[in-house]
Amino acid sequence: MRSIYKPLIALLCVLFALASTPMPTPAYSQAETARLSEFGVNAHLASRARSFEEMDWQSHVISQSGAGWVREDFHWFSIEPLPGVNHWEYYDRMVDLHTANGLNIIGVLGHPPGWATREQTANPWDLSFYEPDLDRFARYASQVVERYRYRVTHWEIWNEPDNPNFWKPAPDPVAYARLLRTVSSAIRAVAPEVRILHGGINPFDIQFLLRVAENDAWWAFDILNIHPYVDPALPEDNGEIGVSAFANLQIVTSWAGGKPVWVTEFGWSARPNERDPAGHTDEEEQANYLVRGAVLLRAAGAERVIWYSMKDEIQNGYGMLRFSEQDGPHSHPRPALYAFAVLNDQLAGAVFEKRITDIEVLSGGPVYGFRFRRGNETIDVIWALRHSTALLTTTHATAQVFNRHGHSWWLSANHGVFELYPDPSPIYVHRFD
């Protein structure tokens, strides 16, 4: 059993002891091995960091968290603001940083500068969400993929094409299917080994995805990519975040064909935002929902689960780091960051086995339990929606328990059961064969 204390101590040192000291420039090198964890975070280093120092610092924090994956923007309008004029500096550094830390990168290809669209009202020198010229976009995508070949092996084509904020003047599944086919073919021509994700969509309304499939674009991607936001509802509400999302996807895959499913965005904001103007979720609840949502999504069948996001934006509080203009490039961690580090330590490389049905609830409830396996280890993730007392059937004499903060203790079985006191903060119960 790996100890969570070492990574958490290192993380604390990074966040507090070094928070006011610029991070040294790392010696860049190709990572020898990729991280094991199936969990990751939307980092946005190249597209949102204000300096190399901020990029270096956040990359170090992500590395210390034990994340296995990062999702990063490769914005066309930022890389090529003028035709033929390319700015690679931030993107090169971001890829170097993540690669040196052994992180797997999902690169998001989009969004165009106005000059690369056919929309006459678009500012030619600014970001545009209108459909781009397909030949130009295909050339741009090929150039980016070839530049970072073998270091970025997963590419997502556009972000949320079903969202009116990201496809103007309104979402158009026929146009997106055309773009997906064109860009996918261009990418495969220069890097046939990469895996392609379609732009992440809302899985609770599948009409857009159905139309994309009907327009001969199902072959153009390898991985179904969803953004199952449910905030401010709980992860367990409305039939559970994972179960309801996957039930909808089944309607499409039953006739179009099965594909792996990845979650590249999900999260809860710890401040008021567009989805939750009243700000119902506090920071402790955000940390609990991160773990519970990730476990529910893995249990439903998601192969990768990527939290949104690493750092707050001005208009929302989805970050594991709080936004603050006063802190310069550095920000203070929320409880969600520590919960994320513990999640990675506890479940990296673990395979979901089953929902636990033999938990006897003595008081409180409902109680949720999910069983994972890693080698000779059984890991049960258990929580309740209120303070509860429950009995977990076991054939083991003892178990080691870790809470969301990484603290641990030992349990002894009494007549074949462990007595537990679950609450909204998940615990991890470990036993060894």
DSSP 298-340: HHHT-SEEEES-SB-BTTB---SB---GGGTT--PBPHHHHHH
Whether the per-residue pLDDT at 369 is higher than 60: the answer is yes
pLDDT at residue 327 in the model: 61
- Tell which residue, 199, 201, 197, 250, has the closest CA to residue 222: 197
Whether the per-residue pLDDT at 256 is higher than 80: the answer is yes
- For residue 122, what pLDDT band results from cuts at 50, 70 and 90? confident
- For residue 325, what pLDDT band results from cuts at 50, 70 and 90? low
Write the CA distances from 131 to 147, 165, 173, 208, integer angstroms: 24, 13, 11, 16
The span from the CA of 151 to the CA of 116, in Å, is: 27
Whether the per-residue pLDDT at 27 is higher than 60: the answer is no
Domains, the chain, ordered by start = 5-349 (3.20.20.80), 354-432 (2.60.40.1180)
Mean confidence (pLDDT) of the chain: 92
pLDDT at residue 330 in the model: 66
- For residue 323, what pLDDT band results from cuts at 50, 70 and 90? confident
The span from the CA of 79 to the CA of 56, in Å, is: 20
Cα 193 from chain centroid (whole Å): 23
Whether the per-residue pLDDT at 85 is higher than 90: the answer is yes
- For residue 28, what pLDDT band results from cuts at 50, 70 and 90? very low
pLDDT tens readout for residues 339-350: 999 999 999 999
Q: What is the mean pLDDT of residues 195-206?
A: 96
Beta-carbon-side half-sphere exposure of residue 143 (alpha carbons within 13 Å):
17
Give yes or no for a contact between 190 and 146, defined as CB atoms under 8 angstroms apart.
yes
- In the numeric block, which tokens belong to residue 285? 């609840």
Min mean pLDDT across 15-19, 34-38, 44-48 is at 15-19
